[in-house]
Structure 1
Amino acid sequence: MRMVIKNFRRGRRTQHTNQFVLVSDSVNTKAKASALIGNKAEWKTTSGKIIKGKITRVHGNKGAVIARMEKGLPGTAVGTKITVKEKTKKTAKTKETKKKETKK
């Protein structure tokens, strides 16, 4: 899924350079946005480096979300596209598979 970096998360006098407000055309409600919490986000620099992050919470009622990145992004990142990957579901190990692993 592609989203757009709308702005830094900020207050009146502060700006958090590693946290961003992300918006998408397909996500327009708070319920849809809350389903994205925990997904991984990746932003690619012009030189080809990838900066990873994670969607942490919903921002407002119109489907915007907050993403926290590993590093701060430059100001030129505002308005660019960011890739959001779906959560990978971990399979729960049953007692039988645990026994098989211990026998090996």
Structure 2
Amino acid sequence: MEEVILMGSLFEELEAREAVARVRVDELEEQLAEVTGRLEEAREDLGRLRIARETVSEVMAEMSANASARQTQSRKPSGQTSPRRHLRTQEPSGTW
């Protein structure tokens, strides 16, 4: 009889511990879902910032190239063409 009571209380203890563990797992899963959502938002922010930085870099490079071209053109005496344009308009001579 004592053995049956001991077994009964052992199973009750195991069930109680299982219930506590189940609650803890549920709490951790909720926390994980929250953190996963925040992580995804942070990744999206990072992606947008990376794209913005790359776009600004491209625009600045184009603006710099355009500014350099304008400066070069403004320094040339009127009537003088750039060497690149001159080379493009020449007929190939067959000798390089």
What TM bracket, shorter-length normalisation? under 0.3
Q: Which has the higher contact order (CA 8 A, sep 6+)?
A: 1
Q: Which has the higher strand share?
A: 1
Rg larger for = 2
TM-score (norm 1): 0.17
TM-score (norm 2): 0.18
Q: Which has the higher helix share?
A: 2
